[in-house]
Amino acid sequence: MQKLGTHGVGQSSWGPTFYGLCQNEKEGKRVQLEVQTYLKEGVGGQVFIAKANNKGANIKVGAKI
């Protein structure tokens, strides 16, 4: 994904799941198509696009757990 121009890539400890950060949805769709094609020709897998949740944590005082 780095070679495709993503701004950052990583691998989760659960999966294996890989992720890349794109500037916008258009770039994300381009990378998605390239990676999906690569996976289809090899080991298989699925590629998803998701948006970041930039809201942070919510703390509720007195909430029952």
Phi, psi dihedrals of residue 44, rounded to the nearest 5°: 90, 175
Supply 38's token pair.
């690569």
Q: pLDDT 10s digit of each residue in the chain, 65 long?
A: 999 999 989 988 877 888 899 999 999 999 999 999 999 998 889 999 988 777 888 888 886 76
Q: What is the pLDDT of residue 59?
A: 82
Q: What is the pLDDT of residue 30?
A: 95
Biggest CA–CA distance in the chain, Å, is: 53
